[in-house]
């Protein structure tokens, strides 16, 4: 179908208890029903392409597309990493399995909800891959080292958190997920502390020690159900 405006595209195919897309749509274009494990259904006659549902979806499972009928189409993709790509940048687009489909050009950026960190990246893509595009490969700036390898957090993301007011390793952890991986920050906590010191011009002794939690092992339901003798 050729359209002159964006339409939501729901890429949610698993019956999970989730319905923010339905409750957030101001036009009633998405229906899940009383059983919130139902698969969302889009009513294209009601969709206005506002992008609110895209930002509201916690699973980043909704995109938008505008099919032009020509060689190029437009896809709006939710993106929650820093740094954000800029208008005119070339990005790599991927399918639902993370496979690279090709490249697209960033046309614009938009935040449907100012209180939500999700940014919509509008990308111009070849019409031959429009139906398969669901994401963008994480945008990496040259000379931007990874600080937290477990969660793939880059130095630019740490600096961005500091600019937003975070002054401790724990504060940055809550914003970026750094230190929440399997190693519990054994390497990155020290690196982040040094970045804070460098960016704020303070002493390392002024940094509060970060909170640490031991790794959690997998416990089966059977083990939990057994009474202690």
d(CA 7, CA 25): 13
More confident residue, 136 or 116: 136
Q: Cβ distance 34 to 97 under 8 Å?
A: no
Question: Which residues fall within 8 angstroms of residue 117, CB to CB, at 6 or more apart?
Answer: 80
d(CA 91, CA 102): 9
Residue 113 has pLDDT above 80, yes or no: no
141-173 per-position pLDDT tens digit: 667 888 998 888 999 999 999 999 999 999 999
Helix (H) or strand (E) holding 158: helix 155-163
59-82 per-position pLDDT tens digit: 889 999 999 999 999 999 999 887
- When the pLDDT of each residue in the chain is averaged and rounded to a whole number, the result is 87
| Domains, the chain, with CATH or none | 7-136 (no CATH), 146-206 (1.10.10.1100)
What is residue 1's predicted lDDT score, i.e. its pLDDT? 47
Angle at CA of residue 65, ends 141 and 24, nearest 5°? 95
What does pTM read for this prediction? Answer: 0.63
More confident residue, 113 or 87: 87
């Amino acid at each position: 179908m050729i359209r002159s405006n964006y339409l939501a595209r729901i890429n949610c195919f698993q019956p999970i208890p989730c319905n923010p897309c339905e409750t957030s749509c101001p036009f009633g274009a998405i229906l899940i029903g009383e059983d919130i494990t139902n698969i969302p259904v889009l009513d294209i006659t009601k969709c206005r392409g506002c992008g609110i549902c895209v930002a509201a979806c916690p699973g980043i499972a909704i995109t938008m597309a505008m099919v032009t009928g020509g060689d190029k189409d437009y896809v709006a993709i939710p993106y929650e990493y820093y740094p954000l790509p800029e208008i005119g940048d070339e990005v790599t687009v991927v399918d639902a399995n993370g496979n690279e489909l090709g490249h697209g050009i960033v046309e614009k950026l938009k935040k449907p909800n100012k209180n939500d960190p999700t940014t919509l990246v509008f990308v111009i893509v070849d019409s031959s891959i429009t139906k398969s595009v669901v994401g963008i490969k994480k945008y990496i700036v040259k000379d931007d080292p990874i600080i937290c390898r477990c969660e793939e957090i880059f130095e630019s993301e740490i600096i961005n958190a500091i600019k937003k007011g975070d002054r401790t390793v724990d504060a940055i952890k809550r914003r970026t997920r750094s230190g929440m991986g399997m190693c519990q920050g054994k390497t990155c906590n020290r690196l982040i502390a040094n970045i804070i010191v460098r960016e704020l011009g303070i002493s390392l002794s002024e940094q509060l020690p970060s909170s640490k939690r031991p790794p959690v092992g997998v416990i089966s339901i059977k083990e939990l159900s057994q009474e202690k003798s």
